[in-house]
Structure 1
Amino acid sequence: MIKQLYSIAIIGVLCLSACSTPESLKSFDSKTWKDDRYACSGKRGDLVDDLEAIKKELYGKKEYVLRNVLGKPDSEELMERNQRIYYYYLEPGTQCENRNMLSDANRVQVRINSLGKVSEVSYYRPIKTTKPE
């Protein structure tokens, strides 16, 4: 009985640690990003340089890791072969009034491949950022 409980506890700890955010991404201010849904408060724009610093780290990460870091996407598009594109707005725009339509406001576009991993991170309109160190 004790061996079974011990095994269950070990499996539980492993499952919880598997769903956490990697250390390399913990420096990003996820709370501020997630709190500014649709970028209507204008706080996400201030985090673009920080996003650039972790952008390369996002490649190959599973979808749940992306959602842990950036939260639920503001919008998403289903592509062929079970690929998806997640949209995260960077500036206020018409999405603040009508959340059912894609806005022309600048946004980050994250492509999720059919295996559920990040395969591309790009901007709707490229922006000037400082190069990460």
Structure 2
Amino acid sequence: MFRKLLALMLLVSLNACYVPDTLKGFDSETWKADRFGCESKRKNLVQDFDKIRKELYGKKEFIVRNVLGKPDHEELLERSTRIYYYYFEPGAQCDDRSKMSEANRAEVRINSLGKVSEVTYKRPL
């Protein structure tokens, strides 16, 4: 019993850090460090983000969080569908992080199965 529990914990911990090879070229650390896009570091990563955007389709939610970090805003829709918002540039969200801004952002839709079904932009740069 103990071995099974240990093996399960090991498997879960390995999956928690998993990032597919196709997404490893993306500068995740710089992206995650620029919460709400207020330091304009994400603005320099827009082209890199666009390259991995299509690779995100069908990926599990935990992979999105491993690559892009905690979303700047999250919207819960019907049937457990969610939208994660990640800002590319500074805007009103830098003054009041509790409110949505009209600043350019990526919108990552997570379906009820916990997989990415759509990745769009508010206003492409």
Q: Same fold (TM over 0.5)?
A: yes
TM-score between the two structures when normalised by the length of structure 1: 0.85
Normalising by structure 2, report the TM-score. 0.90
Whole-Å separation in 2 of the counterparts to 1:9 and 1:114: 30
Unaligned runs of 5+ in 2: none
Q: Determine the structure 1 residue equivalent to 2:73.
A: 75
Q: Is there any run of 5+ residues in structure 1 with no aligned partner, and where?
A: 128-133
RMSD: 1.6
Q: Percent identity?
A: 58
Residue 89 of structure 2 corresponds to: 91
Q: What are the equivalent positions in structure 2 for 1:1-133 lying under 5 Å apart?
A: 5=3, 10-19=7-16, 20-127=18-125
Secondary structure of 1:76's partner?
A: strand
Distance between the aligned counterparts of 2:112 and 2:21, measured in 1?
A: 25
Structure-2 separation of matches of 1:58 and 1:38: 20
- Aligned-partner SS, 1:68: helix
* Number of aligned residue pairs: 124
Structure 1 or 2, whichever has the larger Rg, is: 1
Which residue does the alignment assign to 1:131? Answer: none
Structure 1 stretches of at least 4 aligned residues deviating more than 4 Å after TM superposition: 7-10
Which amino acid is the alignment partner of residue 105 of structure 2? Answer: R
